[in-house]
Amino acid sequence: MMPDLGKYAVAVLGSYAATVVLLAALVGLSVWQRARAKRLLAETEARQAARERGRTDG
Amino acid sequence: MSIWEYANPKKFMQTSAWALPWVVGLTVLCLGTGLVWGFFFTPDDYKQGSTVKIIYIHVPAAMMAINAWVMMLVTSLIWIVRRHHVSALAAKAAAPVGMTFTLIALITGALWGQPMWGTWWAWDPRLTSFLILFLFYLGYIALWAAVDDPDTAADLTGVLCIVGSVFALLSRYAVNFWNQGLHQGASLSMDEKENVSDVFWLPLLVCIAGFVLLFLTLVLIRTRTEIRTRRAHALMARERLA
């Protein structure tokens, strides 16, 4: 299945490996930042909603 | 319906939430098909041997490195002229993606250049303009991080983006008007004699579509993150004032 890359195996596999590592890091970072922003906004909106409820009740 | 409706963060969030799963699916399909086709099912080149397989990542990454900057230029100009926050946030979101593509193009270019040219690096017009483009990406990201007020940061980075566009265009056209250096001309051309052979060209087109879709996916995800963060900070500022 694996093609015979001959004497250029290091250059070809190195290129693919570097690309996979960099893209995986970028996707991982983007997904982590997305989860963090979602959590931050949910917490902030919950605090605001609680304060507004308190103001209405009081 | 006007395109300016998407400048409304709520409308943008609704539409992008609907579009994202489709874009992600198409990205996986195109990138997976293109890379597997190119790596496993294409022959070696008669001159370059198996290193020709690097074309399926090097060329799409280099194209998107330039196109990402062009997209940032357009969205920055929209911010400067029309003051739509979503466009400034989209430019901010695209920068790390464009920077990563530039880095991939530089690394794979060096790995390809070593066996073909006998050197990892040369101060060739295209290579040098790409290195400068990478530095512009770094500067752009650093400037966003360095300025506290988001509107001022968007203004300053917008100006930096306009200046950096000279190097983005230079990266694209340097090989055409600067007849020196090691880097060959465009791999994709309307001229059949200049274009790469069909056996490489077709999987390359699929890989390019995959990289375009990957860029779109990441920019959508990251712009949504920026919009959420901006809203959270606005609410926190309101909390502090209350």
Q: What is the mean pLDDT of residues A24-38?
A: 98
HSE-CB for A2 with a 13 A CA cutoff: 6
Least confident range from B4-18, B55-69, B199-213: namely B4-18
Among the partner-chain residues A15, A29, A44, the one whose CB lies closest to the CB of B57 is: A15
A32 close to B (CB below 8 A): no
Please name the residue that has the structure tokens 């055409």: B176
B119 close to A (CB below 8 A): no
Are B26 and B217 contacting, i.e. CB atoms less than 8 angstroms apart?
no
Which chain A residue has its CA at the smallest distance from B109's CA?
A15
pLDDT at B179 (0 to 100): 62
pLDDT at B143 (0 to 100): 97
A vs B: CB pairs below 8 A: 97
pLDDT at B193 (0 to 100): 61
Among the partner-chain residues B40, B224, B235, the one whose CB lies closest to the CB of A34 is: B224
| B42 vs A57, more confident | B42
Asked if the model's pLDDT at residue A25 lies above 90, the reply is yes
Residues of A in contact with B114 (CB under 8 A): 11
Mean pLDDT across chain B: 90
β-bridge mates for residue A22, sequence order:
none
Rounded to a whole number of angstroms, the CA Rg of chain B reads: 20
A24 close to B (CB below 8 A): no
pLDDT at B182 (0 to 100): 65
How far is B115 from B157, CA to CA, in rounded Å? 39
Q: In the numeric block, which tokens belong to residue B9?
A: 């963060």
Sequence-distant (≥ 6) Cβ neighbours of residue B205 within 8 angstroms: B34
pLDDT classification of B1: cutoffs 50, 70, 90: low
Query: What pLDDT digit, counting tens, does each position of A11-24 carry?
Result: 999 999 999 999 99
Interface touch B239/A47, C-beta < 8 Å: yes
pLDDT at B195 (0 to 100): 66
Asked if the model's pLDDT at residue B6 lies above 80, the reply is no
Concatenating the DSSP letter of every residue in B25-89 gives HHHHHHHHHHHHHHHHSSPPBTTTBGGGGGHHHHHHHHHHHHHHHHHHHHHHHHHHHH--HHHHH
Least confident range from B85-99, B118-132, B214-228: namely B118-132
Are B187 and B204 contacting, i.e. CB atoms less than 8 angstroms apart?
yes
Interface touch A15/B224, C-beta < 8 Å: no
pLDDT classification of B217: cutoffs 50, 70, 90: very high
How far is B69 from B48, CA to CA, in rounded Å? 31
pLDDT at A52 (0 to 100): 84
pLDDT classification of B132: cutoffs 50, 70, 90: very high
Mean pLDDT across chain A: 93
Concatenating the DSSP letter of every residue in B154-188 gives HHHHHHHHHHHHHHHHHHHHHHHH---SS--S-SS
B223 close to A (CB below 8 A): no
* Chain CA centroid to CA B156, Å: 20
Asked if the model's pLDDT at residue B38 lies above 70, the reply is yes
A19 close to B (CB below 8 A): yes
The per-residue b/e assignment along B58-75, b for 16 or more CB within 10 angstroms, e otherwise, is bbbbbbbbbbbbebbbeb
Query: What pLDDT digit, counting tens, does each position of B157-210 carry?
Result: 999 999 999 878 877 776 666 666 667 666 666 566 666 777 889 999 999 999
| A31 vs B5, more confident | A31
ipTM score assigned to the predicted complex:
0.91
How far is B149 from B209, CA to CA, in rounded Å? 37
- The single-letter DSSP state of residue B3 is G
Q: Indicate the angle between helix axes B55-82 and B198-241, nearest 10 degrees.
A: 40
